[in-house]
Amino acid sequence: MTQLAKPYTLNASCQMKNRIALAPMTNTQSHPDGRASQAEMEWLERRAQGGFGLVITCASHVNRWGQGWPGQMGIFDDELLPGLKEVAESIKRHGSLGMVQLHHGGLRAPKELTGRIPKTVVDVAPNKAHPDGAKALTSDEIESVMEDFTGAAVRAERAGFQGIQLHAAHGYMLSQFFDRHLNRRSDQWGETFDNRVRVLVETIRRIKHRVTSEFVISVRFSPENYGSGGFYPLAESFELIDCLIEEGVDLLDASLWDVFKVPEDPDFQNTDLITAIASHVNDRKPLMVAGKIWTIEDAHAALDRGADFIALGRVAIGNPDWPQALAGQNLELRKPPFSPVWLAEQKLGEKFIQYLRRWPNFVSKE
């Protein structure tokens, strides 16, 4: 049995049947009011059926004004529970763990979707990247955001998911706080690292207090780049990792874009980013990585460099049975461009297929 195929116990009661996860992916195919759609459920269930040990939903907004794009699945109200329960059950029936990624767009929650000017850590003047600009959150509003994340986590457990993932990567709300290029606050939410990470830490603590001990808490972060365009020394990513481990997070998810890339940090030019991150984690917590893993050889190379799990994104779109190759099955690995007919057969809805057309050479014109 290869390392990828070995089960792994995340906490007292949650065991993954293998080391392969479906990465959270935007797909724009839920209902305008945030209700999970049949297409959303079928997309996720097909990957669970294909053998993924962990299936993570798309980023799901924790309040109405945190929506980041059309067709985003929501988890901000109990009225959404029926659809969420169906999604959770569809994953669980195939022996996979189900996890909801909790998201708030913050600065990246457009007014045309939410009906209000975006809110984030500081005032932002309208610009090319953010035409709506943004208003700074008050302390009361920050309190409300933390409660929104906490309530969403409780809702996820009620729906039957085995865990949640806090989306603290790629320049969304949580990473906007600990982005020192953006966060210029002078109160308890800014200036120092401890203050900038306070919202994330306090949210983790509140969630742990209100869910069961078996419920998995994961955090996705993007080392070196928090989303504002500026890079950070790896030392700051290491500080964030130490903080998350100290807070008792069950699973660290490093979104690396390319797991084998060389770090931007000039002090780490003789290694790859995954090795630097894994070396610092040093087996203190399970580490999952994502970024341009396509073949089984790529996946094994990631584990050889210190990762405990791999998360598959683009390859899982056209290859929902990817994990079955671990069982010795002769799986023909398909690569883009994928035909719309093939993608539909792999349980992608039309809105998802249309969304993928913006990726160069990913969907064929036939």
- How many CA atoms are closer than 13 Å to the CA of 236, on its beta-carbon side? 22
Return the pLDDT at 224.
Answer: 82
Q: How many domains does the chain have?
A: 1
pTM of the model: 0.97
Q: Judge contact between 352 and 39, C-beta under 8 A.
A: yes
Per-residue pLDDT reduced to its tens digit, 91-101: 999 999 999 99
Q: Is residue 173 part of a domain?
A: yes
CB within 8 Å of 317: residues ≥ 6 apart? 25, 338, 343, 346, 348, 356
- Judge whether 316 and 28 are in contact, CB under 8 Å: no
Opening angle at CA 355, ends 354 and 359, nearest 5? 105
Q: Nearest-CA neighbor of 68 among 110, 102, 30? A: 110
Residue 230 confidence (pLDDT):
66
Residue 298: inside a domain, yes or no?
Answer: yes
d(CA 116, CA 14): 40
CA 297 to chain CA centroid, nearest Å = 24
343, part of any domain: no
Residues 6+ apart with CB under 8 A from 316: 22, 23, 47, 52, 322
Q: In the prediction, which pLDDT does 232 show?
A: 81
Domain carrying residue 149: 3-335
Q: Is residue 288 situated within a structural domain?
A: yes
Alpha helices in the chain (DSSP H): 38-49, 81-92, 111-114, 139-159, 173-177, 193-196, 198-210, 234-246, 273-281, 296-304, 314-318, 340-345, 350-356
What pLDDT was estimated at residue 228? 58
359: its two tokens: 């990726």
363 in a structural domain: no
Which residue ranges in the chain fall short of pLDDT 50?
none
Considering the domain boundaries, does residue 346 fall inside one? Answer: no
CATH assignment at residue 143 = 3.20.20.70
- Tokens for 12? 């007292």
Residue at 91 is within a domain: yes
Residue at 341 is within a domain: no
Q: Which helix (H) or strand (E) holds 16?
A: strand 15-16
